[in-house]
Structure 1
Amino acid sequence: MTKLPVSAFIICQNEEAYLGNCIESLAEFSEIIIVDSGSTDGTIALIQSYIEKGWPIRLFHETWRGYAGQKQFALEQCGEPWCFNIDSDERLDAPLRKLLPELVAAPQEIVGWRVARRPYLIGYGYTPEHVQERKNLRLIRKGRGRYDLAQAVHEGIVPDGRVEKAGKGSLLHYRPLIIDEQILKENKYSTLKADQQFAEGKRTKVLKLVFSPLIYFLRLYFKNGLWRCGVSGFIEAMTGAVYAFLTQAKLYQRQALKRRPNQDDASVR
């Protein structure tokens, strides 16, 4: 099998349940960079088993630097002309694997490609090919992009040049969390986002607090097409709206506490 001139890079911690299928989907890649930040389950043993089978994996152990910092470290370890960012719970679908040779043969003025992602929904499975999340920059020429270290969450590569959208194919996101667990994740991410925006001096307004969740829901449900996935799609879109609400509510409360710290004034009421 002819290998593609691409380094996949993955950051992970305790991803034993997901990482194997991610690695399997990278069979055409010349190099796989994995940066572990202290796994205590069977993740390292799993990675070593693939190394022993001859997979082109280079394993690094690095103390957690934050999402952007960790991915920047992983990106810097890549040795191939192209670098592909993929998470442990993602896999390349067949159309994307088929398209990759065309993407890496792009003219020099194209420095990166944005790729769609399709989530796995409990009670439904993977969304159809035309029901995708927003396309994000995942494939970048080496040395033509880096992460914005100021981004605490939803980090992305900042390109140095022209970026295009891949016409076909998707990453498949397999982390089917029940709503109990998913809300905890949205709570964590919204805290990171609110803290980042507060540090940047951003403010929220009542209109944004009220309408941001609605707009988020409408974008996911109608524009992204989650309405096609029944109740499972509705829950996914509503979960996104919860994230949007929590982010704005936390930002508002951080601002409010700065203006007026909490004080028990019951004695004068």
Structure 2
Amino acid sequence: MSRFHRPISAFIICKDEVAVLGECIESLDFCREIVIVDSGSTDGTLALIEAYAAQGYPIRLISNAWPGFARQKQFALEQCREPWCLSMDSDERLDPAAKAYLSAMPLDDAKLSSYAILRRDYLPGYGYQPAIVHAKAFLRLVRKGTARFDESALIHESLIGQGPVHTLPKGAILHFRNMSMKEDTAKTSAYADLKAREQFARGRRTTPLKLFFKPIGWFLKSYVGHRNFLCGVPGFIYAMMFAQYAFLVEAKLYRLSLGDKAPPE
């Protein structure tokens, strides 16, 4: 079977992702089009993209100033030309089973328009989460014109489709997150800041009970409910990072609710 044969436009947004983007591109060599929207890379990402294009990868590189996660992904989605659109992050890649299934699955049933794909995270010191660990499915493959991103979301943006969503029966997206603890905690704090501002703008406020119990609940959900305890110490750290994120969102919501109040004398 020839490469680049499927009527699918994969789309990716990126900035300074030279360390991970190559494997993402290589996992998409069944797509007829790969749309990459860059927002000002300076680390060699653009040269990497040009190198893959020179090898024959059907890449369309588009520059667009950063408007936020959801708006940038919506912009990328709107650039797609094929009947089907596949959303990927630059630090993700399709595993062999997902790639094989997407390379051969029927795409001509007009009643089908939305497919979710399981995603497994990389745990430093362990590897990718095994199949026995709970993995969430995200809507990623949609028929063109049937879905869009919620542009009011500042973080954790997701596609909103039409009709029933079918989950790919085989394979998963592999999310590579081999960052140092310093990088991981900084990213967690930055994402929590965006989430808190988004929720504050929508009228949500925190309470002392939420500040105390929500991090505990998120830890137990990840570590026990999702079975990350099976991944040893890396699984424990992963669950604790979820708890940290939950705490920071609530703490930042509290700080936002204080506004510009003067300190007590």
TM-score, normalised by the number of residues in structure 1: 0.93
Percent identity at matched positions? 48
- Alpha-carbon distance between aligned partners in 1 of 2:131 and 2:106, rounded to the nearest angstrom: 22
- Alpha-carbon distance between aligned partners in 1 of 2:228 and 2:112, rounded to the nearest angstrom: 31
- Which residue of the partner structure matches residue 78 of structure 2? 76
Counterpart code for 2:233: V
- Alpha-carbon distance between aligned partners in 2 of 1:101 and 1:35, rounded to the nearest angstrom: 24
- Alpha-carbon distance between aligned partners in 2 of 1:236 and 1:103, rounded to the nearest angstrom: 34
Deviation at 1:110, TM superposition (A): 2.5
Question: Is residue 90–residue 172 contact of structure 1 (8 Å, CA) maintained in 2?
Answer: yes
Q: How many residues align?
A: 263
Three-state SS of the structure 2 residue aligned to 1:110 is coil
- Which residue of the partner structure matches residue 262 of structure 1? 262
- Alpha-carbon distance between aligned partners in 2 of 1:144 and 1:165, rounded to the nearest angstrom: 17
Deviation at 1:129, TM superposition (A): 2.4
- Which residue of the partner structure matches residue 176 of structure 2? 174
- Alpha-carbon distance between aligned partners in 1 of 2:152 and 2:19, rounded to the nearest angstrom: 30
User: Which runs of 5 or more residues in structure 2 are unaligned?
Assistant: none
Deviation at 1:206, TM superposition (A): 2.1
The change in CA–CA distance for 1:140 and 1:234 in structure 2 (over 3 A counts) is: same
- Alpha-carbon distance between aligned partners in 1 of 2:214 and 2:186, rounded to the nearest angstrom: 20
Deviation at 1:113, TM superposition (A): 1.1
Three-state SS of the structure 2 residue aligned to 1:16 is coil
- Alpha-carbon distance between aligned partners in 2 of 1:212 and 1:103, rounded to the nearest angstrom: 41
Deviation at 1:126, TM superposition (A): 1.2
Deviation at 1:104, TM superposition (A): 4.8
- Alpha-carbon distance between aligned partners in 2 of 1:102 and 1:165, rounded to the nearest angstrom: 16
Counterpart code for 1:28: F
- Alpha-carbon distance between aligned partners in 2 of 1:9 and 1:61, rounded to the nearest angstrom: 13
Deviations 1:60-92 (A, max 9, x none): 000001000000000001111111110111010
35-44 or 131-140: which moved more? 131-140
Question: Is residue 85–residue 141 contact of structure 2 (8 Å, CA) maintained in 1?
Answer: yes
Three-state SS of the structure 1 residue aligned to 2:40 is coil
Q: 1:245 aligns with which of 247, 250, 255?
A: 247
Q: 1:54 aligns with which of 48, 51, 56?
A: 56
- Alpha-carbon distance between aligned partners in 2 of 1:168 and 1:222, rounded to the nearest angstrom: 25
Deviation at 1:218, TM superposition (A): 1.7
Deviation at 1:103, TM superposition (A): 4.8
The change in CA–CA distance for 1:106 and 1:137 in structure 2 (over 3 A counts) is: farther
